[in-house]
Amino acid sequence: MRYSQMFIPTVKETPADAEIPSHQLMIRAGLIRKVASGTYTYLPLGFRCLNKVINIIRQEMEAAGAQEILMPAIQPIELWQQTGRDADYGPTMCRFQDRHNRVNVLAPTAEEVVTAIAAGELKSYKQLPMNLYQISPKFRDEFRPRFGVLRSREFMMKDAYSFHADEQSLQQTYQKMYDTYCRIFKRCGLEYVIVEAETGEMGGSASHQFSIPCENGEDIIVHTEDNSYAANLEKAAVDPLPQQPKPQDIGQPEDVHTPGTGTIEAVCDFLKTKPAQMIKTLIYKVEDQIVLALVRGDHDLNAEKFTVALDRQHNELADEKTIEQFTGAAVGFAGPIGLLEKASKVIIDQAVAVMPVAVSGANKTDYHTANVVPGRDFPLSGANIQIADIRNAVEGDTYKGKKLLFKRGIEVGQVFKLGTKYSSKLGAKVLDENGSETLCTMGCYGIGVNRIIASAVELRNDKFGIIWPISIAPFEVIITALNQEDAEVVKTAADIYEKLRQKGIDVLLDDRELRPGPKFKDADLIGIPIRITVGKKALADGNIELKLRSESKSRHIPVTDALSQTLELVESLYAD
């Protein structure tokens, strides 16, 4: 392509609403443009990058035996109601009513649709295993879209779904997809880590997440010092805390007037205590039942661990009216004394169970209770009471005796063992070897295509712009032709351009009538891996300039060697 004929609207200034380097540079380099909050148009350079990633994914998925299909973005709500995931996704799911008053959703994923297809088409175990995938837009009404395409409302995802006659077959495909993902991310030039992950709304028995370590990532990766264990924050287990010695002569529980202190911070400031000495009593609804979660004041409830402790039942925080009716107090003053017996289920975090003494809400507006001793003043066991790890890991925690460390990352892919969660609810069955009907066992495997691009930019940039991995760069080579008024420069640049194209190299010829400075700045900004500069001065000595975007120095080589040395350089970058 010729630069003069392409739409590449680069921008000098950093956009005011772009918070992180990938967002800033994708706009400045003319890859994307914002349409509305969380929605973006991919311009020619950005779309080329997107297609490079898609082609890699498609090649690897088909090599692994997956078959590509395309499912609709508009899906009937009834499918989601059959699995209960309309409630799981809640307001994140984009819903609309059509002219016939039917409720539809814009697909956030496609387990329901693909399982319905399998239920209608698969009849025998002889048709299994089967792995179907698509690469298509998905929609999630994010509460706070941010970081450009890293957390957007519309995004491109590769989602695959496998069907099996038994668990052993699922394990084989799961491992095959795991290995395929490793190849995909390596080919995209990304350094990744694999961590254990919670299954979340997807459900199932096991999951692994592929993350790109990055300071601006929204995910938190938890790992031991020796890296023998790694998980995302939602999955990360912690060792139980030891029982703390109880102070001598602890008095009986005492209600203290604490007006206007409905938060941990406000109570601690008023009573001159610390969050680690507080108990938070959180009130949830599971269908029509009240469920309590008790965590220490300095800990955050881990929603995924809590859901697992509830056997994956859908749960949500109770509303203000429900809390007031259940506790007899305003929001912010709930406490365990006298409350646990009223709940259908109580999950007490292990760190609460070993507290020697604490402060909690008093179940009276503007009052808290001091001298609360777990096990003395409220029960730690009972038919409705369970002690479990339901909190986020924090600094100072260990796992199997090893110190836990924390770093941020960007999730780019995840694989799941779904089991029969969807096939049982949507009737995906086949006849087994004995002629008996059996449910299909399923797996699913997702990749965030947009996130691969943004992650590459986030990790590989400098003060001048993007430094693309060659495999997903919009072009492999850029030829910067200086002195456009010089016929020899124009002829030489065009000759090299045509020869590279004939060799299958993806090359951009900058033939714009601009001064050298703006051309060099644009070349660095858009980040094409190899730059060939053809200028009047060097050409007088029979030379051109060859430079890697990742290096500061360039070298002069004879024009006659331009093709061979460029091809060698391209090959070496792919080999890295």
Q: Which domains does the chain have, with CATH numbers?
A: 50-71+108-237+406-457 (3.30.930.10), 254-388 (3.90.960.10), 475-575 (3.40.50.800)
Q: Classify 30 as helix, strand or coil.
A: coil
CA 129 to chain centre: 28
All residue ranges of the chain with pLDDT < 50 are none
**Kind of pairing between the strands at 437-439 and 385-388:** unpaired
Report the candidate in 549, 567, 453, 445 with the shortest Cα–Cα distance to residue 51: 453
Report the candidate in 300, 298, 368 with the shortest Cα–Cα distance to residue 336: 368
Contacts of residue 553, Cβ cutoff 8 Å, sequence gap at least 6: 547
Q: How far is the C-alpha of 373 from the C-alpha of 462, rounded, in Å?
A: 55
* H/E element, 346: strand 345-349
pLDDT of residue 245: 84
Report the candidate in 194, 196, 198 with the shortest Cα–Cα distance to residue 234: 198
Structure tokens, 116: 């319905």
pLDDT of residue 320: 95
Output the pTM of the full model. 0.89
Contacts of residue 551, Cβ cutoff 8 Å, sequence gap at least 6: none
Structure tokens, 380: 């730690």
- pLDDT tens column, 206-255: 899 999 999 999 899 999 988 899 999 999 999 999 988 888 788 999 99
pLDDT of residue 95: 96
* Residue type at 490 in one-letter notation: V
Q: How far is the C-alpha of 246 from the C-alpha of 250, rounded, in Å?
A: 8
Confirm if 338 and 363 have CB atoms less than 8 A apart.
yes
Helices (H), ranges, 337-466: 350-353, 421-426, 449-459
The conformation of residue 443, written as its DSSP 8-state character, comes to: E
